[in-house]
Amino acid sequence: TEELLRNSEKLSVAGQLAAGVAHEIRNPLTALKGFTQFMKAGAQYKDHYLDIMISELDRIEQIINELLILAKPQAVTFQKRPLSPILHHVLSLLESQANMSGIEFHTRIGDDLPDVHCEENHLKQVFINILKNAMEAMHAGGRIDISAVQSGPHTVFITLADNGPGIPAEVLSRLGEPFFTTKPSGSGLGLMISQKIMAEHNGRLHIESELGKGTLVQITFPVS
Ligand code: ADP
Ligand code: MG
């Protein structure tokens, strides 16, 4: 029954998303079509139009990339996994990109963390989404503190904190809303998908932020 519940939850996620996706992809496509016709008709300032077209294409690509994770329901299998290698793997994936942006990772990840019942790739996607948001927010470099500890017998507590610009109140209240983004070619799907994935894991994702100080993402989930 648990498995069935998870599957039906996934179907409804896909259903909710379908209408939104069609809408969000149609807008940049309409723009692309317009610019293509415009250029065929011999428009001037082609470079400028090409830049806009590339950014519209980037947006479509972002949306597709982030949705692919939900598009493979057959691959979803919950298994007992040790948590610290999952976190270390994600950090190693993002390390060189962070280095190039002048961002340092500081970690406090216990070796004695318990196993968690998880869909490993989905869980990794949550950490990637959160860390990428932090990295994208810190244009002048900075630091991200990642900690993971067992909190009581039944819970693991993970925090990811950046010292970036923080999130204004009017943005904070809309986080997790599908397609809500402040980035020119963002998908606005990262946090919504992360929240859905944490719900699949019977966990919680909570975000706090202070302007000028940074953003703290807290993840709580049950030990298997
Ligand atoms: P996207 O990254 O595609 O914009 P997300 O759902 O991942 O979509 O994030 C939504 C918005 O939340 C971002 O556009 C950004 O404005 C804000 N945000 C998320 N994380 C941070 C962070 N660590 N620092 C500042 N702003 C953030
Ligand atoms: Mg994002």
| ipTM value | 0.99
3-state secondary structure of 185: coil
Measured CA to CA, the distance from residue 217 to residue 208 in angstroms comes to: 6
Measured CA to CA, the distance from residue 78 to residue 58 in angstroms comes to: 32
When the pLDDT of each residue in the chain is averaged and rounded to a whole number, the result is 87
Helix H or strand E segment including 219: strand 214-222
Closest C-alpha to ligand 1, atom 18: 133
The tokens of 164 are what? Answer: 């970036």
Residue 21's pLDDT is 77
Q: Are 84 and 110 in contact (CB under 8 A)?
A: yes
Q: Of all atoms in ligand 1, which is nearest to the CA of residue 189?
A: 6
Map tokens 């970036």 to a residue.
164
The residue among 80 and 11 whose pLDDT is bigger is 80
Question: What's the average model confidence in pLDDT over 71-99?
Answer: 85
Question: What's the average model confidence in pLDDT over 98-114?
Answer: 94
CA of residue 217 to ligand 1 center, whole Å: 12
At 83, the amino acid letter reads L
Q: Of all atoms in ligand 1, which is nearest to the CA of residue 192?
A: 6
pLDDT-derived band at 13, boundaries 50, 70, 90 = low
Q: Which residues line ligand 1 (CB under 6 A)?
A: 129, 133-134, 137, 162, 164, 167, 171, 175, 180-183, 186-191, 215
pTM of the model: 0.81
pLDDT-derived band at 169, boundaries 50, 70, 90 = very high
Question: What's the average model confidence in pLDDT over 113-131?
Answer: 91
The tokens of 157 are what? Answer: 């507590």
